Structure formats: structure tokens, C-alpha cells
């Protein structure tokens, strides 16, 4: 006969591993979950700068003819409406694009269909939490434009674990995130204060040294860390100087 005893999760004792602890900490925050992002992406005319159908200027430079990143397998974390994923697919990358928002992914699918069968065939769209999805790594490029600065501090550990498991030897990790010192574009409050406040205040801003401290904990070599260049509205690329752009590379061999 099946036991009717309550489970640890049912009686308030759910934590038995790191992920259980992290989910408990997640609940302390006003987390912007998938339904929040669905509402955010539902209004396509809201004038949000990164709704434009063009890639980040730094990604375009890195993947262009003079850039160091050749076509391969790519993971786009927090892909939104797919602007960077489409750029990579058009260049010949095989792209896994992940987002919490089904609404954003539907928009990305529309854009991919409009780009034609060659581009659409190189993109796989995945709805869900990038930390729990069964990703098909390793990837030659992992790119994140705007997801990292929405993570609670403890989720940086999950993020580093994701990179460690899924970034191929010799692979590249590119990041765009809020830069400290920009009014209204991310909080500079210390990690402990975020837990006391129980909110991320719309996103976490970073200094270059903070990013180096976080990501050079892995076997990653910094190759670029700068402000994103502002790009005019009629430019072929997206660029806003309230963001950092960073590029790291994993050694081709270990030991």
C-alpha cells in the first residue's frame, strides 16, 4: 500500500540539496517569472530599446568577418524576441535560444519564419528555466544579453555551473549587462542588502572588477570588457552605453 505520510516538501522541509536551497531563496524575492515577462513582451509597441530586430553591436563585431568567433553551436540565454539568435543563425550557427516567456518566444518564432527556411532551420526555441532545461551542450558560444543582471546573487552559482558544464573547450562566453554608475539602470546595492530588501530593484548593476571576480572563478580568460557603444536608431546594430559588454574564453585544453 502507498504511504500516506507527508513528504518533506509538504511539511515545510523541502531543502535537501543546493537546488532546494536556491529555490527557497528564490521565493524571498519578487522574482520576474515567466508570466511577468509575458506581460512585458505582449506590448510590442512599448518602445523598449532591445525590442528592435537587430543584434548587439558587440556580438556583430565578434561574429563578423574580422571577429574571432566562427560559426558553431551557440546558446542564447534569455533570448527574448530572438534578435541575437537570428543574427547567429543567419551566419551559420546552430542556435539553442532559451527564454522564460512563451510570448517572447512566439515573437522570436515569427521573426525566424520571416527570415526564411535556412535561418529558421538553425534555431531551436526552448521555453523554460535555463538552469533546469536539458540543454544539448557543449556550445562553442554562450551568449547572454540582459539575463544575468536579473539573477539573484545565489543564482550566480547556478550560472557558473551552467557555463562550466556547457561551454566547450576553446569556447566563448559573451555577456551584456547593466553597468554601475548609470542612474535608473540597475541597483548598486550590495548583495546582503538585496536579501534584506527582498527585491532586485529591477536588476543588478556591476562594475568591471565585480564581473572579473565572478567569472574568472572558472577557467575563463577575459578577452574584452568595455562599455557597449551607443548606436543611433537607424544603425544596423543595437547599442546602449548603460551596458557592459564582456567576452571570456575557455582554454582549449585543461591541465
Among 76, 57, 77, CA closest to 67:
57
Proportion of the chain above pLDDT 90, given as a percent? 78
247 pLDDT above the threshold of 70: yes
Residue 83 backbone dihedrals phi, psi, to 5 degrees: -60, -40
Question: In which band, very low, low, confident or very high, does the pLDDT at 11 lie, cut at 50, 70 and 90?
Answer: low
Instruction: Tell me which residue has cell 562599455.
Output: 227
Q: What is the 3-state secondary structure (H, E, C) of 7-38?
A: CCCCCCCCCCCHHHHHHHHHCCCCCCCHHHHH
Please write the tens of the pLDDT for every residue from 22-32. Answer: 988 988 886 66
Mean pLDDT of the chain: 91
Residue 115's pLDDT is what?
97
Q: Rounded CA gap, 74 and 89, in Å?
A: 9
The 10s digit of each residue's pLDDT in 113-126 is 999 999 999 999 99
CA angle 194, 200, 202 (to 5 degrees): 150
Residues near 81 by Cβ (< 8 Å), separated by ≥ 6? 41, 51, 53, 104, 107, 108, 111
Is residue 5 pLDDT above 60, yes or no? no
Average pLDDT over residues 141-166: 97
What sign results for the dihedral spanned by CA atoms 110, 112, 116, 117?
negative
Three cell numbers, residue 147: 539575463
With beta carbons less than 8 A apart as the criterion, state whether 54 and 238 touch. Answer: yes
pLDDT digits (tens, 9 = 90+) for 35-84: 878 988 899 988 788 889 999 999 999 999 999 999 999 999 999 999 99
Amino acid at each position: 500500500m502507498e504511504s500516506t505520510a507527508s513528504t518533506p516538501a509538504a511539511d515545510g522541509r523541502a531543502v535537501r540539496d543546493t537546488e532546494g536551497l536556491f529555490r527557497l531563496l528564490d521565493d524571498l524575492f519578487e522574482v520576474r517569472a515567466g508570466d511577468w515577462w509575458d506581460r512585458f513582451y505582449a506590448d510590442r509597441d512599448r518602445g523598449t530599446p532591445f525590442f528592435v530586430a537587430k543584434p548587439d553591436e558587440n556580438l556583430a563585431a565578434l561574429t563578423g568577418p574580422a571577429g574571432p568567433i566562427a560559426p558553431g553551436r551557440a546558446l542564447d540565454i534569455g533570448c527574448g524576441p530572438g534578435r541575437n539568435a537570428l543574427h547567429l543563425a543567419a551566419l551559420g550557427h546552430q542556435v539553442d535560444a532559451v527564454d522564460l516567456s512563451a510570448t517572447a518566444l512566439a515573437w522570436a518564432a515569427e521573426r525566424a519564419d520571416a527570415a526564411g527556411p535556412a535561418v529558421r532551420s538553425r534555431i531551436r526555441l526552448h521555453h523554460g528555466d535555463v538552469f533546469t532545461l536539458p540543454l544539448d551542450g557543449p556550445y562553442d558560444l554562450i551568449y547572454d544579453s540582459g539575463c544575468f543582471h536579473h539573477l539573484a546573487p545565489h543564482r550566480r552559482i547556478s550560472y557558473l555551473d551552467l557555463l562550466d558544464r556547457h561551454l566547450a573547450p576553446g569556447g566563448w562566453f559573451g555577456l551584456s549587462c547593466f553597468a554601475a554608475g548609470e542612474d535608473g539602470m540597475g541597483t548598486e546595492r550590495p548583495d546582503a542588502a538585496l536579501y534584506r530588501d527582498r527585491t532586485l530593484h529591477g536588476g543588478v548593476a556591476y562594475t568591471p572588477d565585480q564581473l572579473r571576480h565572478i567569472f574568472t572563478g572558472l577557467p575563463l580568460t577575459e578577452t574584452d570588457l568595455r562599455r557597449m557603444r551607443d548606436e543611433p536608431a537607424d544603425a544596423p546594430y543595437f547599442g546602449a552605453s548603460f551596458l557592459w559588454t564582456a567576452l571570456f574564453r575557455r582554454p582549449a585544453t585543461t591541465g
